């Protein structure tokens, strides 16, 4: 029988099987010899020990599509990155770091900007100007008014999605609408602490319908970029791609080089300056190999 690990606590793995529910399993397979540790998100083969008690053993881990280290999770199809249009205003540097990390892992991103109900038009326009040009799908939502949540539901369908974003932007509110049973608490400080505790203990996937899972991704604010070389960074800014090869110097990193097509595109307003500034900042960081 095949299923997906939705949670792991203290040596037990909780495996969701679409037709029959969740089984509490131990890892017993030969993969243990190979020192492969099951991860939340793994698709696994289980043998059922007791159907009424819903217990079993994991006997095989199916090949992984990808894996993230922090949070430790496998087979993420995409990330839904949630920021508020306002209250709080988007922290562009943080947002771009996250996009770079997902690009480097080849995980597609859908950008969700929430709190549309209290946003001003120019704020929405600016976000479109910056991010539509990079090719990311954008969804503007209001969890409060339940506006455009159906569009979110549509992009999540049939996929495993990591939901990420800083706190206070409305992630829990959106997740609650998507999956009323998750019943995640929103807003108050005591609830935040509760959630913080919950999230440091383990990652968890929530089924929202058949074959669709979401995961709330904690630890987002401590993101850093350091697991690749500075020369690679430019490839993680999709809007730079069409200028590749057009710079005067072969192998141009678009920093201080003269005759740089990317810098010209920035000056001409074709690449957004905020994105470019964040590129330079991350580039310098990788150059000095500063670690967080």
Judged by beta carbon distances under 5 to 8 A according to partner kind, the member of Zn ion, ligand GDP, none in contact with residue 173 is: ligand GDP
Judged by beta carbon distances under 5 to 8 A according to partner kind, the member of ligand GDP, Zn ion, none in contact with residue 246 is: none
23 φ/ψ angles, rounded to the nearest 5 degrees: -110, 135
**Helix and strand totals (H; E) in the chain:** 7, 13
Judged by beta carbon distances under 5 to 8 A according to partner kind, the member of Zn ion, ligand GDP, none in contact with residue 18 is: none
The nearest distance, CB 114 to ligand GDP, in angstroms, is: 5
Q: Residue 95 in 3-state DSSP? A: helix
- Contact (CB, 8 A) for 5 and 40: yes
Chain centroid to CA 265? 29
Q: Classify strands 212-216 and 160-164 as parallel, antiparallel or unpaired.
A: parallel
The nearest distance, CB 157 to Zn ion, in angstroms, is: 39
Nearer of residues 108 and 168 to ligand GDP, judged by Cβ: 168
Nearer of residues 112 and 262 to Zn ion, judged by Cβ: 262
Structure tokens that stand for 192 in this block: 């935040």
Nearer of residues 83 and 237 to Zn ion, judged by Cβ: 237
- Contact (CB, 8 A) for 215 and 73: yes
Structure tokens that stand for 216 in this block: 């709330």
Judged by beta carbon distances under 5 to 8 A according to partner kind, the member of ligand GDP, Zn ion, none in contact with residue 186 is: ligand GDP
The nearest distance, CB 262 to Zn ion, in angstroms, is: 5
The whole-angstrom separation of Cα 77 and Cα 242 is: 26
Judged by beta carbon distances under 5 to 8 A according to partner kind, the member of Zn ion, ligand GDP, none in contact with residue 247 is: Zn ion
Query: What is the DSSP secondary-structure string of 220-281?
Result: GGG----SS-GGGGGGG-GGGGGGTT-SSSTT--SSS-TT-HHHHHHHTTSS-HHHHHHHHH
- Contact (CB, 8 A) for 109 and 79: yes
The nearest distance, CB 247 to Zn ion, in angstroms, is: 3
The nearest distance, CB 84 to ligand GDP, in angstroms, is: 7
The nearest distance, CB 289 to Zn ion, in angstroms, is: 22
Nearer of residues 172 and 278 to ligand GDP, judged by Cβ: 172
Closest CA to 81 of 103, 106, 99: 99
Judged by beta carbon distances under 5 to 8 A according to partner kind, the member of ligand GDP, Zn ion, none in contact with residue 172 is: ligand GDP
- Contact (CB, 8 A) for 81 and 166: no
Q: Residue 8 in 3-state DSSP? A: strand
Q: Which residues bind ligand GDP (CB under 6 A)?
A: 114-115, 117-118, 142-144, 165, 167-173, 186-187
The nearest distance, CB 118 to ligand GDP, in angstroms, is: 4
Nearer of residues 117 and 267 to ligand GDP, judged by Cβ: 117
Judged by beta carbon distances under 5 to 8 A according to partner kind, the member of ligand GDP, Zn ion, none in contact with residue 114 is: ligand GDP
Nearer of residues 43 and 141 to ligand GDP, judged by Cβ: 141
Minimal CB distance to ligand GDP: which residue?
Answer: 170
- Contact (CB, 8 A) for 36 and 50: no
Nearer of residues 104 and 186 to ligand GDP, judged by Cβ: 186
């Amino acid at each position: 029988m095949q299923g997906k690990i939705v949670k792991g606590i203290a040596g037990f793995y909780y495996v969701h099987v679409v037709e029959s529910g969740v089984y509490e399993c131990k890892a017993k397979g030969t993969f243990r010899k190979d020192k492969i540790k099951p991860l939340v998100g793994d698709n696994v083969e289980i043998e059922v020990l007791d159907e009424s008690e819903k217990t079993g053993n994991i006997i095989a881990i199916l090949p992984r599509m990808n894996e993230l280290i922090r949070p430790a999770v496998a087979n993420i199809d995409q990330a839904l990155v949630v920021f508020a249009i306002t209250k709080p205003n988007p922290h562009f540097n943080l947002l771009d770091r996250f996009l770079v990390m997902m690009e480097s892992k080849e995980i597609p991103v859908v950008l969700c900007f929430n709190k549309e109900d209290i946003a001003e038009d120019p704020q929405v326009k600016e976000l479109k100007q910056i991010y539509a040009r990079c090719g990311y799908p954008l969804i503007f939502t209001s969890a409060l008014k339940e506006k455009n949540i159906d569009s979110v539901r549509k992009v999540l369908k049939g996929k495993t999605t990591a939901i990420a974003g800083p706190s206070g932007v409305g992630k829990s509110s959106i997740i609650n609408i998507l999956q009323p049973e998750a019943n995640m608490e929103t807003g108050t400080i005591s609830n935040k602490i509760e959630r913080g505790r919950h999230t440091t203990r383990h990652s968890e996937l929530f089924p929202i319908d058949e074959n669709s899972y979401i995961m709330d991704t904690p630890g987002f604010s401590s993101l850093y970029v350091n697991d690749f070389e500075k020369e690679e960074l430019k490839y993680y800014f999709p809007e730079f791609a069409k200028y590749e090869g057009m710079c005067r110097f072969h192998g141009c990193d678009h920093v201080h080089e003269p005759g740089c097509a990317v810098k010209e595109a920035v000056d001409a307003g074709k690449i957004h300056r905020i994105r470019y500034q964040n590129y330079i900042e991350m580039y310098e960081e990788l150059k000095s190999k500063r670690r967080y």
